[in-house]
Structure 1
Amino acid sequence: MQYRLAQEEGQGATVRRSIGGREVSYFDPFLLLDAFEVQKPAGFPDHPHRGFETVTYMTEGKFQHEDFCGHRGEIRSGDLQWMTAGRGIVHAEMPSGYGVNKGLQLWVNLSETNKLVEPSYQELLDKDIPKININDNKVQIKVIAGRLFKFSSTGESHGTVSPVRTRTPTIYLDFTMKENAFVEQKIPNEYNVFVYILTGEGYFNKAPGSTNQTLIFNQEGMSKKIKFVGDFIKVETKDSQLRFVLIAGMPLGEPVARQGPFVMNTKEELQKAFEDYFSFKNGFEKAKNWESQISRNSD
């Protein structure tokens, strides 16, 4: 369990990094989770990626996105962008308007067989992300990725499924709970799981958690991990409302070589990623002389 202080990232942006920092540098298959807060003219100007996926989920405000292939768009509060960087993307992410813009960015590692796939996007508006209300409408769940498993006294039934296709098996759920509410979430035992609390207070398998805390489940060697109850995570609230995301994934079990914006399997592959980027080849050809409009117009 950890509480992360804010740090600066990009160009004047503020982030709380719970995965990808000193305490938990890699939680297979997750490379990073940043809770970001950005106001103009700050943002994330032109930068490259290779070898993984970035998942941007807005919780307040709106962000623009533009890449060197001409893909450009905007994600607003509640919207999702699932970007597969694959063999190479150079892009920019900047706030669309004035005021506070908040969200989460998750980095999901790709297996060796998928490291160099062609870049692609999956983008969902808030209205298109499946939602269910359970337990007398005290709990709402948004199914951002994966399948929601619902249970009753008569046994298991498969619930809502996200339209997002994940190359690395991933579950991403957004829970909003009222006071004095309870919910159980089934997670496959072989998955690594963590929770990031956006607001409020609650109890996760009886362990307390509150705003901006990250709770780690099922990770060997973690002295402060929280144990599963069977293959469930049980969450309850008392006098406080609670909003949190639950993120789980199938570990890849592969070596990781990472530096800055590139994540490969070996040091040699990592060195080649930098060479390709600076030489404008093998996926980075369009980076030569490219500059995003949204970075130029960020003031």
Structure 2
Amino acid sequence: MSRNLARTIARSFYANSQPEGAGATVRRCIGGHNTIDPFLMCDIFEVSPPAGFPDHPHRGFETVTYMLEGTSAHEDFAGNKGLIKPGGIQWMTAGRGIVHAEMPVTKSKGIQLWINLSAKDKMIEPSFQNLNDEEIKRVNPEEGIEVKVIAGSSFGVKSDVFTRTPTMMLDFKLSKGKKIEQEIPKDYRGFIYVWKGSGYFGGNRFKGQENYALFLDESNGDYLPVEAVDNDVRFMLFAGQPLKEPIVSYGPFVMNTEEEIFQTMSDYNKYTNGFEKAKKWRSSIGDGVAGIDFEKEFKN
């Protein structure tokens, strides 16, 4: 397939560690006022019991938890509960409202990505897509190159994950000396996070190194070239179709207007309009995971 223009890297920064939640540390790639439509936040987290993310609400977007190391338990007020094991994902659509807890069973490291929902989808019913490591598709275009296709597609292999907001989430491993050209839709915006090693990214051969976030330019380029020159490199690519809608957020709530945020806060405080089950619900893991039989209680 002929390609017209390579994407370049417009900017980068080192993602420093910072405290988050109840005893976790995160490296924040995007968040707050620094967002890339349709992405709202991306944290590389490390957390060990008894720390974690106890009972908390969401509305108006999706959260993706991708475990790299360790195991995490999740539980919500609708009765869903399970384990996210190494290499597995949970793709949660908060929609009109969910209250849940995310607590590590062991020392854990992974990614949490927040993806915005369009106005027409913000008040849909909550839902989950859970995949273990072995259920996520992979492609090896040649020896020394592996792509884990979490969302979107790569080299003709398409993920089974349904994305309401069109999204690519790909985990790449390139051995030293290997090159790739990953196709990206021209209207997608996105960024890269370098897990390990270093490589040359984009048409401008920008050198990306471990723990750096690299941001794609906003040209109409349709592919991203990457080369592992000095050593092996592992990196994540996040790209998505911009919604081009107003964003008004307040903590764990993301809507389109201030009025919708005020309504969300009222709904949550009064246990109405999607938050009814929160009134009497408390997770079994929010105070820690000691003494819980996870093999019995938290099977996926």
TM-score (norm 2): 0.90
Count how many residue pairs are aligned between Structure 1 and Structure 2.
277
Paired residue for 1:61? Answer: 70
**Correspondence for 1:113 among 101, 104, 120:** 120
Deviations 1:195-235 (A, max 9, x none): 0111111110200011111100124xxxxxxx77x421100
Q: Distance in 2 between matches of 1:41 and 1:198?
A: 25
1:144 maps to 150
TM-score, normalisation: structure 1: 0.90
Root-mean-square deviation over aligned CA pairs: 1.2
1:81-118 residue CA offsets vs partner (Å, 9 max, x unmatched): 10000000000000013xx3000000000000000000
Higher relative contact order (CA 8 A, sep 6+): 2
Residue 103 of structure 1: which of 99, 103, 110 is its match?
110
What is the aligned partner in structure 2 of residue 128 from structure 1?
135
Shift of 1:21: 4.3
Which residue is equivalent to 1:239?
A: 230
Q: How does 1:208-223 map to 2 (within 5 A)?
A: 208-219=207-218
1:57-206 to 2 correspondences below 5 Å: 57-97=66-106, 100-135=107-142, 137-148=143-154, 150=155, 159-205=156-202, 206=205
Amino acid at match of 1:218: D
Is 1:16 aligned with 2:7?
Answer: no
Q: Secondary structure of the residue that 2:40 maps to in structure 1?
A: strand
Structure 2 unaligned spans of 5+: 1-11, 291-300
Measured after TM superposition, the shift of residue 194 of structure 1 is 0.7
Other-structure match for 1:291: 282
Deviation, structure 1 residue 124 = 0.6
Partner of 1:155: none
- Identity over aligned pairs, percent: 53
The offset of 1:146, in angstroms, is 1.0
Q: Which one-letter code corresponds to 2:102 in the other structure? A: E
Query: In the alignment, is the contact (CA less than 8 A) between 2:49 and 2:288 conserved in 1?
Result: no
Cα deviation, 1:60-95, whole Å, max 9, x if unaligned, reads 001000001110000111001100000000000000
Counterpart position of 1:156: none
Moved segments of 4+, more than 4 Å: none
Whichever residue aligns with residue 238 of structure 1, its letter is V
